[in-house]
């Protein structure tokens, strides 16, 4: 049994208090090429995954949205338009370099009025309880040290009737696709990372972190354990990615 004071960093076993710094170093390294790498490694399909997340979020004018692990702001930008001037979107990331990249992008696009930027750890959210109508975390939960702690924290800051959406890499639903995906992830993806960002190891960690992330049913169970109800998930691209949704009732 794994010592309770250790956790996974990809396939490596590390001390719990070491993981956040290791993850931070990964995103410090790739921040300025983050958008380009997303397009290259997903062949642009990440835009469709995020669009589907927006479509099932139920977010509308005047609501409050918390976008965790916001990266460079693909989801935040769309939510900003949906909630309008009377709504609010919190653009949040644990990594300062990513947060600054996202803030610069939003300012360049003229999105300022209803967006607020907060550097925060998803495990320890600095927001009032029962505050948000929707919380999203896109491609970030797998990097969190204690995923259950983060899901519990999200539950607390959602108002009754609010919902959580987790967009994350998941487990392919058929063996041929899984084998092809493994070949791409461990052979090609790190090489693309080396060419574009000069950092092969960060993208090797990415592939490993995806494999260590809970599968669809396990993550659904974690959400139910936190108190979420009517939990479901949507497999996209054959389960390479899944969107999990749950409600605080």
Q: Is the pLDDT of residue 36 over 90?
A: no
**Mean pLDDT along residues 31-43:** 76
Q: Is the pLDDT of residue 24 over 80?
A: no
Q: According to the annotation, is 121 in a ligand binding site? A: yes
| Mean pLDDT of the residues in the chain | 91
Here the tokens at position 209 are: 């972190």
**What pLDDT was estimated at residue 239?**
97
**What pLDDT was estimated at residue 69?**
95
How do residues 48-74 score in pLDDT, each as one tens digit? Answer: 999 999 999 999 999 999 999 999 899
Q: According to the annotation, is 72 in a ligand binding site? A: yes
Q: Is the pLDDT of residue 2 over 60?
A: no
124 vs 191, higher pLDDT: 124
**Mean pLDDT along residues 99-128:** 92
- Listed range (24-38, 201-215, 217-231) with the worst mean pLDDT: 24-38
| Architecture of the 6-173+204-247 domain | 3-Layer(aba) Sandwich (3.40)
- Listed range (5-14, 84-93, 116-125, 152-161) with the worst mean pLDDT: 5-14
**What pLDDT was estimated at residue 197?**
83
User: What is the phi/psi pair of residue 150, to 5°?
Assistant: -65, -45
205 vs 128, higher pLDDT: 128
Q: According to the annotation, is 93 in a ligand binding site? A: yes
Q: Is the pLDDT of residue 18 over 80?
A: yes
**What pLDDT was estimated at residue 1?**
42
**What pLDDT was estimated at residue 61?**
97
Verdict on whether the full-model pTM lies above 0.95: no
Q: According to the annotation, is 122 in a ligand binding site? A: yes
pLDDT confidence tier of residue 4, bands split at 50, 70 and 90: low
Question: How many whole angstroms separate alpha carbon 77 and alpha carbon 111?
Answer: 7
CA distances from 175 to 3, 179, 213 (A): 32, 6, 18
The ranges assigned to domains in the chain are 6-173+204-247
**Mean pLDDT along residues 95-112:** 89
Q: What is the DSSP string of the chain?
A: ---TTEEEETTEEEEHHHHHHHHHHHHHHHGGGHHHHHHHHHTTTHHHHHHHHHHHH---TT-EEEEET-TT-HHHHHHHHHH-TTSEEEEEES-HHHHHHHHHHHHHTT--TTEEEEE--TTS--S-TT-EEEEEEES-GGG-S-HHHHHHHHHHHEEEEEEEEEEEE---SSHHHHHHHHHIIIIIHHHHHHHHHS-HHHHHHHHHHHHHS--HHHHHHHHHHHT-EEEEEEEEGGGTEEEEEEE--
């Amino acid at each position: 049994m794994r010592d309770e004071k250790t956790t996974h960093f990809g396939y490596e076993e590390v001390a719990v208090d070491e993981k956040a710094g290791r993850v931070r170093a990964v995103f410090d390294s790739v921040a300025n090429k983050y958008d380009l790498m997303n397009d290259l490694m997903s062949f642009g399909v990440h835009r469709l995954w995020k669009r589907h997340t927006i479509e099932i979020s139920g977010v509308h004018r005047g609501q409050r949205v918390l976008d965790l692990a916001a990266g460079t702001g693909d989801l935040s930008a769309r939510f900003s338009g949906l909630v309008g001037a009377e709504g609010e979107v919190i653009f949040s990331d644990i990594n300062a370099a990513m947060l600054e990249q996202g803030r610069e992008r939003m300012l360049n696009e003229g999105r300022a009025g209803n967006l607020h930027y907060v550097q925060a750890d998803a495990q320890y959210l600095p927001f009032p309880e029962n505050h948000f109508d929707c919380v999203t975390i896109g491609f970030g939960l797998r990097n969190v040290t204690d995923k259950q702690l983060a899901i519990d924290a999200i539950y607390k800051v959602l108002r009754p009737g609010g919902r959580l959406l987790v967009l994350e890499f998941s487990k392919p639903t058929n063996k041929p696709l899984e084998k092809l995906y493994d070949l791409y992830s461990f052979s090609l993806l790190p090489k693309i990372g080396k060419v574009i960002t000069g950092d092969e190891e960060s993208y090797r960690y990415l592939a490993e972190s995806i494999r260590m992330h809970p599968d669809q049913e396990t993550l659904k169970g974690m959400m139910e354990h936190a108190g979420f109800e009517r939990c479901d998930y949507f497999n996209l691209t054959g389960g390479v990615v899944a969107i999990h949704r749950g409600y605080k009732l």
